[in-house]
Structure 1
Amino acid sequence: MNPRTPQDAPGAGHELAWTPIAEEAVRAARVLHPEEHQLPRPNRRRVLTVANQKGGVGKTTSAVNLAAGLALHGLKTLVIDLDPQGNASTALNVDHRSGTPSVYEALLGEVSLADAAAVSEQSPNLLCVPATIDLAGAEIELVSMASREARLKEALTDEALDQLGVDYIFIDCPPSLGLLTVNAMVAAQEVLIPIQCEYYALEGLGQLLSNIELVQRHLNPELAVSTILLTMYDGRTKLADQVTQEVRSHFGDVVLKTVIPRSVKVSEAPGYGQTVLAYDPGSRGAMSYLDAAREVAERGAQEGTA
């Protein structure tokens, strides 16, 4: 939970006691009345690849909920679903049946990203380029293509992005380190890594960081790990605190202060074609993702990079 000053509280200036309950009330108001709490725009358009080759760490969940949090509070946000499973498309309730204009056609150069982007019904500021089942064979098709590692970067033209007018782009990667993930890293400036607060949290992270270094060295020198988000935190266990402390001591300020709790509501939301912010805006999971989105926005406004 992020500390707030008494001046942030309702009735500030009237010496209202600033208590945890008051803080929860302010956070709930921000979720339920987003138009009154706009987030600052970044100094430049930010493109973040959300990556972790380990499955079940909250990667897609974090991508769509951070995007929704930013969009609900005034920032135009695009989610590019680069995972053939299409879970981000499902969570944003965007059509991703075979034949729908999608990221697959954009990678092949058959449609522009602007033409493939669909508006989510959850917010007019929230767009998604869906993934259809056709993307499942893209890894094989890309192997024989020219500039196979830069197909997504070529699709992310200034013209297409200016047409969409987006402030943030989140690229949701598959849980692997194949060509699709490499395309995401070549197209982005930043990598956001979700890490779950569990025993095997750091398993495979070394390989992911090594791959990021390879991309930096050979394909995209601007790429940097800008943000780490701790997910699935269970305050009842000592292990969760140990993992949190270990990640913070190793990565420092790159780790967001906000930690996402383990939550049934967060898990249920995609089944209804919603983010948790739409499914249960007053839940702990929704408010935590909103706090994380605010951190991302504040870093982007202050530094131009998280």
Structure 2
Amino acid sequence: MFAIANQKGGVGKTTTAINLATALAAVGEKVLLIDLDPQGNASTGLGIGRNDRSPGSYEFLLGLNPLAECVRSSQIPSLEVMPASVQLAGAEIELIDMDDREHRLDQALNGPGGEARQRWTIILIDCPPSLGLVTLNALVSVDAVLVPLQAEFLALEGIGALGNTIERVKKRLNPKLHIAGVVLTMVDRRMTLSQQVEADVRGHYGELVFGTTIPRNVRIAEAPSHGMPVLIYDNACAGSQAYILLASEFIRRRRTIAEQAEQKASHEPAS
């Protein structure tokens, strides 16, 4: 289970959520994309109309409706969506006075029976561009965070703040939480600044940064207005090909981590 998060807006977070989910579903994974952003852009980008978004993530987060009632099929086989409505904007205030306010999503997704993990092989959560209670709920419920990072000058500042938040959540609320990887987005290698930012990010975060980068691409920008991922809108464009490569790299990383965990468990003495 992965949160796709960055408190800085406009970094390609939702675009990455939509297209990574699509690419993973295309190679046989059973994927759930949870839209936790009140703007509902992930829902729009997957063709979920505004009149078909309730019950959705707002109702699920607040415990008003069960999982089955909050999920919709998408136009992509094996990809389902929990859409976001404008009601989610009020969730920050409503959560303040609730018991276990940071654990609402965790309890709903990972509660008795573990229905969500049994039904889907990968769950992606598209977080809002903030570090409030809604994002905190996502960070408490997932195993790891995927960080889209725009190849621009102020990018490192934003990821620093997010990294500090992840460390605090790990210490206090979710010991397994870690950064699964950093995805460089809107990369234009014709620009010296873009190359410099990429070099700085790779120098600072090393192997955490995915080898695959997402280029600036007009087809990526056009696709959401048609209610579809760029992989469906134009499968041959540079943006689509990049997301296919990113999905392959993502799967390889997951497999490696799973193998390492298996080896570690096999070497631990039985209690």
Q: TM-score, normalised by structure 1?
A: 0.81
Deviations 1:44-85 (A, max 9, x none): xxx111110111000000011100000011111110000000
Q: For the Cα contact (< 8 Å) 1:100–1:132, is it kept in 2?
A: yes
CA distance in 2, matches of 1:60, 1:81: 9
Please say if 1:156 is aligned against 2:115: no
CA distance in 2, matches of 1:96, 1:152: 22
Correspondent of 1:295 among 239, 244, 249: 249
Correspondent of 1:135 among 69, 88, 112: 88
- AA matched with 2:115: A
Number of residue pairs aligned between Structure 1 and Structure 2: 258
| Equivalent runs, 1:73-152 vs 2, <5 Å | 73-97=27-51, 100-121=54-75, 123-152=76-105
Moved over 4 A (4+): none
Report the alpha carbon displacement of residue 95 of structure 1 after superposing the two structures with TM: 3.4
Partner SS state of residue 225, structure 1: strand
Q: Which runs of 5+ in 1 are unaligned?
A: 1-46
Correspondent of 2:176 among 218, 222, 236: 222
Partner SS state of residue 228, structure 2: coil
Partner SS state of residue 85, structure 1: coil
Please say if 1:59 is aligned against 2:13: yes
CA distance in 2, matches of 1:276, 1:98: 22
Question: What CA RMSD, in Å, does the superposition of the two structures yield over aligned residues?
Answer: 1.5
Report the alpha carbon displacement of residue 252 of structure 1 after superposing the two structures with TM: 1.0
Deviations 1:86-126 (A, max 9, x none): 000001112343772101111111212232111111x1201
Report the alpha carbon displacement of residue 201 of structure 1 after superposing the two structures with TM: 1.4
Partner SS state of residue 62, structure 1: helix
Please say if 1:206 is aligned against 2:206: no
CA distance in 2, matches of 1:216, 1:288: 31
Q: Rg bigger for which structure?
A: 1
**Aligned match of 1:39:** none
Deviations 1:112-152 (A, max 9, x none): 2232111111x120111000111110000000001100111
User: Alpha carbons of 1:305 and 1:253: their partners in 2 closer, same or farther (altered >3 Å)?
Assistant: farther
Q: For the Cα contact (< 8 Å) 1:95–1:130, is it kept in 2?
A: no
Report the alpha carbon displacement of residue 304 of structure 1 after superposing the two structures with TM: 2.4
Deviations 1:250-278 (A, max 9, x none): 11111110000001100110010011001
Report the alpha carbon displacement of residue 162 of structure 1 after superposing the two structures with TM: 5.0
More helix, by proportion: 2
| Equivalent runs, 1:172-183 vs 2, <5 Å | 172-183=126-137
Report the alpha carbon displacement of residue 305 of structure 1 after superposing the two structures with TM: 8.9
Correspondent of 2:211 among 253, 257, 274: 257
Report the alpha carbon displacement of residue 249 of structure 1 after superposing the two structures with TM: 1.1
- Between the aligned residues of both structures, percent identity stands at 48
- AA matched with 2:224: P
Q: TM-score, normalised by structure 2?
A: 0.92
Q: Which runs of 5+ in 2 are unaligned?
A: 261-271
CA distance in 2, matches of 1:266, 1:99: 24
